[in-house]
Amino acid sequence: MAKVIPLKGRQPDSEKVTINLGFVDLGRIDLLVREGFYSNRTDFIRTAIRKQIDGHDAAVTASLDRQTLELGLRDFTVADLEAVKAAGERLHIKVVGLTRIAADVTPDLALDTIASITVLGALHASPEVKAALGDRIT
């Protein structure tokens, strides 16, 4: 079975998020960038988001423990899912971070082995697997 790998530093796999900011807030960010406090708008926004997340660290940790969520990167390969199937088990996947289901996992194998999947972050899987698991993804 694959291990959970903590995400550290900048990851090449990221999710793009779009936000709307007022002109005054945007101008203030640009001023801080111009003054050299941040390298660009993205640097400022990432830093602000990380500070907010760090400020709620205890609440996040308690929630992870309460909901039995895994934190980080979770990969599922064909071999992983075949081992689950051979054991007569089904997975209830709960991840905060990135979950990747290998491109060669078939929809049938996913259906046979994944009972439910909750991902707070991003789920990378083939469109066919995502469609097959559609009613099991929350």
pLDDT tens per residue, range 19-52: 999 999 999 999 999 999 999 999 999 999 999 9
Q: Is the pLDDT of residue 100 over 80?
A: yes
Tokens of 85: 């199937």
Contact 44, 69 (CB under 8 A): no
Pinpoint the alpha helices (H) of 3-126.
23-34, 41-55, 57-67, 78-86, 107-113
Q: Which residues pair with 5 in a beta bridge?
A: 73
Give the whole-angstrom CA distance, residue 34 versus residue 80: 50
Task: For residue 124, give the nearest of 102, 103, 100, 106 by alpha carbon.
Answer: 100
State pTM to two decimals: 0.63
